[in-house]
Chain A
Amino acid sequence: MSPAAVKVDRLEKTLGKNRVLRGISLEAGSGEIFGLLGPNGAGKTTTLRIICTLLAPDAGSVEVLGFDTRTAPEEVRRRVGVVTADIGVYPRLSARENITYFAELSGVLDGELKRRVDAVLERLDMVPFANQRAESLSSGQKQKVAIARAIVHDPEVLMFDEPTSNLDVLASREIRNFMVESRDRGKCVIFSTHVLHDAERLCDRVTILHEGSVVATGPTSEVRGAHRDLEDAFLELVEAR
């Protein structure tokens, strides 16, 4: 593994009365797809939200490319792009306007702006509907807008939180291809999902969470071990606890 782009150390978080994270640690490197796996409620989304500074940890620490999320949250946000299942876009803005808005807020310089937006539109094959208002786009097209706005500032770390859960087969495949492409471009890709089959196909390394704790971590093949697939490995790990 290359030096850690994201380093999570003994992270704890309680939301309301629910102790969501119980001291989890993990590391994700550049040029790899790192799977954050587990059933619903395992703490995957909370972990991602802390990494991208939306939530503050109760204990433990998170570093992104050497920047601590507590002391340098804006530096962290500058280097992170997040794609979630909730493909919220501004309906009265066009796809291009949506992306431009986030590019500007992410600090893309005026001279670079058009080139960056055009590049990302082409890269995601969005040119045909770039000037269409977002309210008239399909779910797959909206998801592309969501990806485009997350990557337009060319972040080093890309996080995907259940990105395919609302999408059809074709759109899901495009997202998976995009993750692979990003890894090949040297990005640190963190893929959070409860669909272990997807993770097994894509991830170089995985961490499995269960009830806020890490139950297994390592290269995908190692975590699967002698089991038929990751799902079997996961079930045995959970039952053993």
Chain B
Amino acid sequence: MKTLAIVFRKEMREILRDRRTLLAIGLAALVTPTILVVISQVSTKTATQTYTVGYTGTIPTGLDILMTGTGLKLEPVADPATAAKQQVDLGLAFQPAGIDEWYDPTRQSAALADTRLQVVLGQFNAAKAAAALQQRGIDPGLLTPLPVTGHPLSSPVKAAGNAFLSFFLPYILITMGLTGGLSAAIDASAGERERKTLESLLLTPAPRSRILLGKILAVSVISLVAALAAIGSMLLALARIPLLDTHVSLSPLAAAVMVWLAILLAGCFTSLTLTLGTLAKNFRQGQAFSTPLYFITIFPASIILFIPDFNPNLAYYLIPILNAVLVLRDAILHDSIAWPALGLTTASLVATGLICWFAALRLFTRETLLIKS
């Protein structure tokens, strides 16, 4: 234990004096709120943006008021089809039998204007139909033979927030857990070889397994701090920045699960990056070896984005990283823990960390690597 403490203390001291690592943690804390501010501003701008509608013909009474009220600015044009290509977002020709519409779906503004127009026309048509029926003495309720009354089991606003968190939070946990300690991990492994301190270190009577464990522990702490700093700043930012009309907050249970997974992932990633760093001759090569890891590890978080209803059987929880993403997603969405899934996830991540630690230990003292150094 003493060796472990000595190595841990020394590594922490070195890491905290390393600008690269401090910069990584600082960026981790700053980047997420910055992204959220940008998303918030873009979404606000999109929601309040006014789109231009070029038209010919006579606008039905009342429709112009509805359109102007939903941010569709009416502008008379000579040819709506030509105008819709560049000049305006939508082109409409009002005729007695109906409306001809021209728009370019490849233009985002045109697609958004069309969506708004469809909503407005839906309301206008429903109101007109209801008025016509009423004029003939028929109950307008006839138009909705099966009226639906919704009873959401949880707040839709909160659900939207949780859905956002269930993707974003595992993504940050993984990227920051990996990148936050990457520089320190490579420095503690490939850096020893590059600085030519490895031989001197291995010449001490201290058990090599403990030396490596001390390094893993120190880098894991940095990884953990980076991940939690990023998530903490994200949650803080979400509490202050209005985003897509959602209410985003993390329940105590989900927070506890997240911290537990962050610890496991930090240990796992550190063992893995130290193993790769041990194979490298210098810092640059260590970075090159570790770069593909980013793409490999981010893949599971992407699954949740592309398949939101992905509900795998228990065997999937044996796959490292994917299991952490799934457990965290479930904790956020349902505010509950599936204990068998969490147990398997914990066992899988601990086993992965141990395998990597053992591999790093073998590589750390391999004769051929010592000679190359």
A residues near B (Cβ < 8 Å) are 15-16, 49, 52-56, 74-75, 77-78, 80, 82, 84, 86-93, 97, 101-102, 104-107, 146, 149-150
A52 lies within 8 A of B195 (CB):
no
Contact mask for chain B residues 350-372; partner A; CB cutoff 8 A; 1 contact, 0 none: 00000000000000000110110
Contact mask for chain B residues 19-38; partner A; CB cutoff 8 A; 1 contact, 0 none: 00000000000000000000
Contact of A55 among B10, B196, B206, B370 (CB under 8 A): B370
Residues on the A chain within 8 Å of B150, using CB: none
Given contacts A84-B199, A90-B195, A91-B195, contact A104 B6 (CB under 8 A): yes
Contact of B203 among A77, A87, A89, A93 (CB under 8 A): A77
Given contacts A77-B204, A78-B205, A93-B14, contact A105 B199 (CB under 8 A): no
Q: Chain B at the A interface: mostly helix, strand, loop or mixed? A: helix
Cα-based distance from A55 to B370 in the complex (angstroms): 9
A54 lies within 8 A of B370 (CB):
yes
Cα-based distance from A90 to B6 in the complex (angstroms): 15
18 CB contacts below 8 A, A to B, read A15-B367, A54-B203, A74-B205, A74-B207, A80-B203, A82-B200, A84-B199, A88-B196, A88-B198, A90-B10, A92-B13, A92-B14, A92-B17, A93-B10, A104-B6, A105-B7, A105-B204, A146-B200
- Smallest CB separation, A176 vs chain B (Å): 21
Contact of B202 among A54, A75, A91 (CB under 8 A): A54
Total residues of chain B contacting the partner, CB 8 A: 26
Residues on the A chain within 8 Å of B198, using CB: 88
Residues on the B chain within 8 Å of A82, using CB: 199-200, 203
Residues on the B chain within 8 Å of A93, using CB: 10, 13-14
B204 lies within 8 A of A88 (CB):
no
Closest to A55 in B: B367
Given contacts A55-B370, A89-B197, A91-B195, contact A102 B204 (CB under 8 A): yes
What 10 A-B pairs have minimum CB-CB distances, sorted nearest first? A88-B196, A105-B204, A86-B196, A88-B197, A92-B17, A105-B206, A77-B205, A74-B205, A78-B205, A104-B6
Contact of B200 among A15, A55, A102 (CB under 8 A): A102
Closest to B2 in A: A104
Most buried by A among B10, B199, B205, B367: B205
B41 at the binding interface (Cβ < 8 Å): no
Residues on the A chain within 8 Å of B200, using CB: 82, 88, 102, 146, 149-150
- Smallest CB separation, B370 vs chain A (Å): 6
B79 at the binding interface (Cβ < 8 Å): no
Closest to B371 in A: A15
